[in-house]
Every structure is written in C-alpha cells, then in structure tokens.
Amino acid sequence: MGVMNKVTIIGSLNIDTTFKVTNFPLPGETIRAFNKSSAAGGKGANQAVAAARLGAKTTFIGKVGNDQQGEFMIKALKQEGIDISGIKVEPATGTGTADILLNEAGQNCIIVYGGANQTLTVADLAGLDQQIAASDFVVAQFETPQAATIAAFKLAKAAGKMTILNPAPASEILPELLSLTDIIIPNESENQRITGIEITDLNSMKKSAAKFADLGISRTIITLGSQGVFYAAGNRTAQLAAFKVKTVDPTAAGDTFIGAFVAKLSPTMENFTEAINYAQKASALTVQHLGAQVSIPTVAQVNQAFGF
C-alpha cells in the first residue's frame, strides 16, 4: 500500500438522526416519517472516518459534550483507528446534532445544532502543535469556529504542511483563513457565497478559480454533484465527469470525497488528478447507501467496485 499519509482534521462531531419522508414539508405542514435512524456524523468526523478507512493515518481535533452522545462519538472514531487525543469535552454544552430529512428522490435537507462544536477555541489546540507538525495535510470545515481553524492552519504553515479548507456549510469566511489555505474544496453554493460567482458553465468555474488564486489559494476543486468535479491547479483546469450511479442518500458524499482525496494525494501533489478521480469513486459508493459514516467505503470496497 506504500507510505500512509498523515492527516489531521479539525472539525465537528454530531449525532445524525435521519428521517425518511415521501416529500419535504411545506411551511406549516406536518408530515409523517416512515423510518428513523441515528448514527455518528458531523462533517469533520465523516471526513476523518473516510480518510482513515481509505488509508490515511488520521488525527482528530474537536469537541463533544459531557454526555452519552459525546462518549458515543469518541468511541466511534476510536474504533476506526483515529487518534482521538485532540478531542476535548465541553462540560456546559451538549454534543452537536444533525437532523436529516431524506425524501424518496434521494434528496436531503439538514438542520445542524452546533452544540459543543461551537465552543472549540484556540486554547483547545494547546499541546497539539507536534501532532499538526507531523501531518502531511491539515483539513477543516465550517462547523467549528474559524478562529480555531486559523490557529491550526498557522501551526501547519509554520511546519511547512499543506492546508485544505472545505468551506461547508456555506458561510462568510475570514480573509485571514483564505490566506492560510493551500487547497479549497467548495461545492457550487459555497463557491458562490465566497466568490460571488454563480456556477453556470466551465467559464464561470475558471473565473471562480482565478478569484481564489487572487486570494492566494493555488489549487481549487469545486464539487458539482452529479456533474462531477472541476479543478484548477496552476495552469491546469478541467472538469471530470461523475460516475453514474443510483443515489440512495447523498449524505456524507462530499465528506467521503475529501477524506479519500487526502488519503490518496501525495504530499508533493504529483498525483493531483489521480487523487480526485479516486475520491470520486469513493463518493460514488457512498451515495448508494443510507446514512453518513455507515456508507463510507474502505480501500478494499473501492478496489473491488472499480477493479483495482
């Protein structure tokens, strides 16, 4: 398998509760759910699980509440072989949660309660500088405060490590965080929120990448759902088609993409396109199953599905 990438992920830990419904409710409407399930989730935790299952040595930085849900989340990550020494317990706030509505067309709506995730501070990174410095990549999202991410990215940059930002869910972004980011991976709506450019065609994707480059980010990947992925790396730009599969549940597809990407990507970047293709294969498997972390594939499952 070769040398394992070392990845540190700073992010959220949530208990996901999925309600399967026929259609989404209209304002003021009460509807019935015909199935309910709960599992470990959170964008950060999902990305860490994906990175670990797909071959990376993974460390997690985050926060849970002093409750059963927090204990469950820590145990879930530990069982994946993830280093949990960077997870702190917040005594005054409960563990984060996400309620997911999933309709019969395979579309979802998600309501996130940040809980302990939103209490992560710069002080919580104390003593983790060596773990960050030992990583090949440091990855973050927007379900934890940007100030903590900025501090983590500063430690990474000081050690000469690569930083990857998934600006999800869509939010205002601090300019300092952009200046510390090497690779940014938004979806279409997140891209528009940051750049002001609506994704309509290849030209609009190139304009978005150019704007990110002006902000100091040398590599951009825009995930496009069923339309695949666009990337810009230096003078290279391309749109790669998605693998055609039946979508059962898109939850965690983007997180799987990012975890697989950092697990596969060489720290020297020479396999950038190959890593994107691998990430698309992994996320294509994720969307064919219900749930978040339970649907994230392993290396063996990707290899079996795509004939490696």
Tokens found for residue 132: 């960050």
The whole-angstrom separation of Cα 229 and Cα 213 is 18
- Which residue carries 């293709």 as its tokens? 277
Q: What is the CA radius of gyration of the chain?
A: 18
Residue with tokens 């020479």: 270
Q: What is the pLDDT of residue 277?
A: 95
Weakest mean pLDDT among 41-45, 105-109, 215-219, 252-256: 105-109
Position 308 scores a pLDDT of: 61
Pick 307 or 148 by higher pLDDT: 148
pLDDT attached to residue 77: 97
| Rounded distance between C-alpha atoms, residue 282 and residue 294, angstroms | 13
Q: Are 250 and 287 in contact (CB under 8 A)?
A: yes
Contact in structure between 60 and 44 (CB atoms under 8 Å): yes
Distance between CA atoms of residues 69 and 14, nearest Å: 8
| Residue 208 annotated as binding site | no
3-class secondary structure, 115: helix
**What's the pLDDT at 226?**
84
Q: Are 181 and 151 in contact (CB under 8 A)?
A: no
Average pLDDT rounded to a whole number, residues 106-116: 90
268 is in an annotated binding site: no
pLDDT band at 2; cut points 50, 70, 90: low
For the stretch 236-261, pLDDT in tens is: 999 998 888 888 777 788 999 999 99
- Residue 292 has a pLDDT of 72
75 annotated binding-site participant: no
Mean per-residue pLDDT, 82-90: 97
Residues 7 and 139: beta-carbon distance below 8 Å? yes
Asked whether residue 11 is marked as a ligand-binding residue, the answer is no
Q: Is 86 annotated as a binding residue?
A: no
Domains of the chain: 6-26+33-306 (3.40.1190.20)
Percentage of the chain beyond pLDDT 70 is 99
Provide the CB-side half-sphere exposure for 14 (13 A, CA).
28
Return all residues near 242 (Cβ < 8 A) that are at least 6 apart. Answer: 224, 225, 226, 227, 228, 229, 280, 284
200: pLDDT strictly greater than 60: yes
Has 234 been labeled as part of a binding site?
Answer: no
User: Quick check: 145 and 157 in contact, CB under 8 A?
Assistant: no
Closest to 57 (Cα-Cα) out of 124, 143, 137, 163:
137
Q: Residue 255, annotated ligand binder?
A: yes
pLDDT at 138: 98
The CA distance from 92 to 101, in Å, is: 28
Dihedral angle at the C-alpha atoms of 183, 203, 167, 134, nearest 10 degrees?
A: -10
Answer whether residue 1 shows pLDDT above 70: no
Determine contact, residues 19/31, Cβ cutoff 8 Å.
no
Judge whether 235 is annotated as a binding position.
no
Q: Return the beta strands (E) in 11-127 as ranges.
A: 14-20, 35-41, 57-65, 83-90, 96-102, 108-113
Tell me the C-alpha distance between 19 and 206, whole Å: 38
Active site residues per annotation = 255
Once rounded to an integer, what is the mean pLDDT over residues 88-113? 91
Q: Identify residue 173 by its one-letter amino acid code.
A: I
**Mean predicted lDDT score pLDDT of the chain:** 93
The helix/strand/coil state of 303 is helix
Is 189 marked as a binding-site residue? Answer: no
Judged on CB neighbours under 10 Å (0-12, 13-18, 19+), 97 is buried
Please indicate whether residue 207 or residue 39 has the higher confidence score (pLDDT): 207
Of 273, 260, 188, the closest CA to residue 226 belongs to 188
> What integer pLDDT is reported at residue 164 of this predicted model?
98
Q: Does position 235 have pLDDT exceeding 60, yes or no?
A: yes
pLDDT at residue 159 greater than cutoff 70? yes
pLDDT higher than 90, residue 287: no
28 labeled binding residue: no
Is 136 annotated to bind a ligand? Reply is: no
Average pLDDT over residues 89-118: 92
